[in-house]
Amino acid sequence: MERIEQALATFRQKPLMYNCAQTVCAAFGREDLVESMASCGGGRAPEGTCGALYGAMQVMPEKSAALLAAFVAANGASTCRELKGCNRVPCQECVRRAASILVELGA
């Protein structure tokens, strides 16, 4: 639970103002990824993937398929366009769910 709370505490909050991908990486101790994730928020991750999901996949690349499946099961989609369109899943909820899935998978 601590990592989920940490992710939510840094998402778009001063002084760090991390995007969704950055906040997930930082919450799971992957500070080495934070800078490279700066361009992956707001629908700019590869293939339009949700940044929170993309960040989670970078934290545990060996579990990418499981992360994707669980995220889609929870949210109904994996891209920002779909999540923000018909599904209307708020970014903060995507961060929460991506972090929760990482915890469930043992990160």
pLDDT in tens, 9-33: 999 888 889 999 999 999 999 999 9
Classify burial at 19, counting beta carbons within 10 Å of its beta carbon; exposed 0-12, middle 13-18, buried 19 or more.
Answer: buried
Q: In this structure, how many other beta carbons lie within 10 angstroms of the beta carbon of residue 30?
A: 17
pLDDT in tens, 21-74: 999 999 999 999 999 999 999 899 999 999 999 999 999 999 999 999 999 999
pLDDT at 1: 67
pLDDT in tens, 80-103: 999 988 778 999 999 999 999 999
Cα dihedral: 66, 53, 4, 70 (round 10): -30
pTM over 0.85: yes
Alpha-carbon gap, residue 6 to 98, rounded angstroms: 13
